[in-house]
């Protein structure tokens, strides 16, 4: 009597386990890429906040060219520690007869300092941690200014232990910086 062998149908348990392990390793790679993508997206968001801060003061300066010529916007440094020093009477400029270019410049600088302080203090959303903004005139003839915003970031640092040749990664605090030059006329 002849016994007929059936053709193999389905997968063995070993094949399923190997496929599951390959899939799990692939998913770990995707998770790592997702983490890197999230960190880069957050870094781009922080840089956008810095660009917006710079754009705000540039627009204020362009709307008040006389105050720029008079030097009201020279050598500004604004951070959480000194932002309370930029105080002005905003009510003076709410009425047209009481506001001159100097008073308007003081109001603009105080509002800009308040914006930076608000961004520093509102870290529930991690807007721009420990931000410092500066405005510096670098050429008085051409009204050339340098605008700089710096903030604190955490980055991964790769280290190799010399004695054991083990690689490790740790988070360190660094300062990121955005600098822009513009002629204000």
C-alpha span between 158 and 174 (Å, rounded): 14
- pLDDT above 90 (res 169): no
Closest to 107 (Cα-Cα) out of 91, 94, 88: 88
Ranges of H-type helices in 71-143: 101-121
- pLDDT above 70 (res 7): no
Q: pTM surpassing 0.95?
A: no
Tens of pLDDT, residues 30-89: 998 998 899 889 889 889 989 999 999 999 999 999 998 888 888 888 887 776 667 666
Tallying the residues shown for the chain, one arrives at 185
Mean pLDDT over the full length of the chain: 84
For residues 138 and 144, is the Cβ–Cβ distance under 8 A?
yes
Give the domain ranges of the chain: 15-183
β strands within 20-166, DSSP E = 76-78, 132-139, 144-160
Closest to 128 (Cα-Cα) out of 71, 59, 46: 46
């Amino acid at each position: 009597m002849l016994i007929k062998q059936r053709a193999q149908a389905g997968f063995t348990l070993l094949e399923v386990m190997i496929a599951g392990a390959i899939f799990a390793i692939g998913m770990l790679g995707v998770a790592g890429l997702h983490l890197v993508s999230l960190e880069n997206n957050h870094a781009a968001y922080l840089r956008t906040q810095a660009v917006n801060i710079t754009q705000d003061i540039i627009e204020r300066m362009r709307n008040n060219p006389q105050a720029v010529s008079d030097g009201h916007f020279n050598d500004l440094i604004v951070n959480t520690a000194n932002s309370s020093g930029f105080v002005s009477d905003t009510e003076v400029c709410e009425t047209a007869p009481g506001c001159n270019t100097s008073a308007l410049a003081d109001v603009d600088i105080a509002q800009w300092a308040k914006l930076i302080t608000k961004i520093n203090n509102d870290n529930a959303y991690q807007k721009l941690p420990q931000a410092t903004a500066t405005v510096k005139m670098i050429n008085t003839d051409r009204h050339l200014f340098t605008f700089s915003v710096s903030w604190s970031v955490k980055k991964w640092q790769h280290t190799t232990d010399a004695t054991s040749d083990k690689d490790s990664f740790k988070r360190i605090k660094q300062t990121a910086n955005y600098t822009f030059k513009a002629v204000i006329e």
